[in-house]
Chains A and B, each alone.
Chain A
Amino acid sequence: MSLAEFEKEARAWLQDNAPRSLLGTRKGRFDGFWGGRKHVDSNPDLLLWRDRMLDRGWTAPTWPRAYGGGGLSRDEAEVLDGLLDELKLPPPVVGFGLTMIGPTLLDYGTEEQKQQHLPPIVRGDIRWCQGYSEPNAGSDLASLQTRGVLDGDHLVVNGQKVWTSHADKSDWIFCLVRTNPDTTKQAGISFVLIDMESPGVSTRPIELISGASPFCETFLEDVRVPLANVVGKLNEGWTVAKALLGYERSMIGSAISGQITHAEREIVASARRVLDAPEGELPDEHLRLEIARFGMANHYLDQTRLRIQQAQEAGHKPGPESSIMKIAGTNTKQLRYELGMAVAGRDALGWEGPGYLAEDLDTTREYLRSRANTIEGGTSEVQLNIIAKRVLGLPSV
Chain B
Amino acid sequence: MHLNLNDEQRMLARTARDFADRHSPIARLRASRYAHEASDADRAVWARYAELGWTALHLPEEAGGLGLGYMDLGVVLEALGRNLNADALVTSHVLGAELLLRTVGAAEAAPLLEPLAAGTGWLAVAHDERAARGRRLHVTARLDEASGAPVLTGDKLDVIGAIDAEYLIVSARLAGGATDAPAGLRLCLVRRDAAGVQVTPLTRIDGRRVANVRFERAPVERVLAGDDAAAAALGQAMDRATAALCAQMLGAAQHAFEITTSYLKTRVQFGVPIGSFQALQHRASKLFVEIELARTATLAALAAIDADHAEQSAWISAAKAACNDTLMHVCHEGIQMHGGVGVTDEYDIGLFLKRAHADRVLLGDTAWHQRRWATLRGY
A residues with a Cβ closer than 8 A to B are: 264, 268, 271-272, 281-282, 288-289, 291-293, 295-297, 299-301, 303-304, 306-307, 310-311, 314, 324, 327-328, 381, 383-385, 387-388, 391-397
Task: Among A299, A303, A387, A395, point to the contact of B272 (Cβ < 8 A).
Answer: A395
Given contacts A271-B379, A394-B281, A396-B276, contact A296 B374 (CB under 8 A): no
Question: Do residues B297 and A310 form an inter-chain contact, with CB atoms below 8 A?
Answer: no
Interface stretch (choices B25-33, B97-105, B287-295): B287-295
> Which B291-342 residues sit within 8 Å CB-CB of chain A?
292-294, 296-297, 299-300, 314-315, 317-318, 321-322
Tell which of B292, B299, B321, B377 has the most Cβ of chain A within 10 Å: B292
Question: Do residues A310 and B4 form an inter-chain contact, with CB atoms below 8 A?
Answer: yes
Q: What 12 additional pairs, Cβ within 8 angstroms, besides A272-B379, A307-B296, A395-B265?
A: A268-B377, A268-B378, A288-B370, A289-B367, A292-B371, A295-B377, A300-B294, A304-B296, A307-B299, A324-B292, A381-B282, A387-B288
Chain B residue contacts of A381, Cβ below 8 A: 282
| Nearest Cβ on chain A to B368's Cβ, whole angstroms | 10
Give the CA-CA distance A292 to B366 in the complex, in Å: 11
Give the CA-CA distance A292 to B370 in the complex, in Å: 5
| Nearest Cβ on chain A to B123's Cβ, whole angstroms | 31
Chain A residue contacts of B294, Cβ below 8 A: 300
Which chain A residue shows the least CB distance to B325?
A: A293
Question: Do residues A393 and B265 form an inter-chain contact, with CB atoms below 8 A?
Answer: yes
Which chain B residue shows the least CB distance to A306?
A: B3
Given contacts A296-B321, A310-B3, contact A392 B371 (CB under 8 A): no
Chain A residue contacts of B375, Cβ below 8 A: 281
Task: Among A292, A387, A388, A396, point to the contact of B373 (Cβ < 8 A).
Answer: A292
Report if B284 contacts A (CB, 8 A): yes
Give the CA-CA distance A391 to B257 in the complex, in Å: 13
Chain A residue contacts of B288, Cβ below 8 A: 324, 387, 391-392
| Nearest Cβ on chain B to A357's Cβ, whole angstroms | 20
| Nearest Cβ on chain A to B10's Cβ, whole angstroms | 11
A–B pairs, 16, beta carbons within 8 Å: A281-B374, A289-B371, A296-B373, A299-B297, A299-B300, A303-B296, A306-B3, A327-B286, A381-B282, A384-B281, A385-B281, A391-B288, A392-B288, A395-B265, A395-B272, A395-B276
| Nearest Cβ on chain A to B205's Cβ, whole angstroms | 27
Question: Do residues A300 and B285 form an inter-chain contact, with CB atoms below 8 A?
Answer: no
Chain B residue contacts of A311, Cβ below 8 A: 4
Give the CA-CA distance A272 to B379 in the complex, in Å: 9
Question: Do residues B374 and A282 form an inter-chain contact, with CB atoms below 8 A?
Answer: yes
Given contacts A281-B379, A303-B3, A395-B265, contact A295 B373 (CB under 8 A): yes
Chain A residue contacts of B367, Cβ below 8 A: 289
Question: Do residues A296 and B292 form an inter-chain contact, with CB atoms below 8 A?
Answer: no
Chain A residue contacts of B322, Cβ below 8 A: 296, 300
Which chain A residue shows the least CB distance to B294?
A: A300
Given contacts A394-B261, A394-B275, contact A388 B282 (CB under 8 A): yes
Chain A residue contacts of B373, Cβ below 8 A: 292, 295-296
Chain B residue contacts of A391, Cβ below 8 A: 285, 288
The 3 closest A-B pairs by CB, nearest first: A388-B281, A292-B370, A387-B285
| Nearest Cβ on chain B to A323's Cβ, whole angstroms | 8
